[in-house]
Structure 1
């Protein structure tokens, strides 16, 4: 279980993670993000679950996470003035940011095209970005697991 108050108290961001919606179990954090976008969710909202039952990866691949063995979340992002040419780069930039964060924790991470996060030669997880009206919203979905 994620302790949302502890996470929020330690964030140094203006919007990202200021709202965290936690679910012990959810079909898909990305699908929940779509619904929240339709309901007028605040940009930067994080949707996180201990167990995802029907997540989707690249090319529609199924992703099912195990409780206490994964970190599965989506972030609703509302980019300011993100041009169409930048939208294709957004998933890569997200992966780079995650790898940098891992390096800050002294973990030797890397990216494997197109969306895998690698540590010590093993796949740790993946990043999936989807857009809904690209001038307005992106969902950044991340799923990490460990052995």
Structure 2
């Protein structure tokens, strides 16, 4: 079967649970971290710096020009400090195309789809739907 069968002996002598060690995350001031980003259009993790600790579990993280408050579970350590780059250098498209030479587009050849069958419609007779008419003198409609 690929696994050990559970017997009555296993119930009488259960195995000891393994020791689980929990690592407490301690983020120092001005340490580089990745903060969880809950904006749908951005990446999930964004680089930032710990600005201030709010209690034992919450931290203020400066990301770009914003300040986010995140729980320790929403932070991951980042081993290098994020560099403030004003703007990345943009390379002209012509240089990129000359460097990488994308493959030339092939002429599309269309093949007729002979495997497709025409759609079948049901021959079941359909009744027209009847509008609900409220009768105030009739029985309850619950």
TM-score, normalisation: structure 1: 0.18
**Greater strand proportion:** 1
| Greater gyration radius | 2
TM-score, normalisation: structure 2: 0.19
**Greater helix proportion:** 1
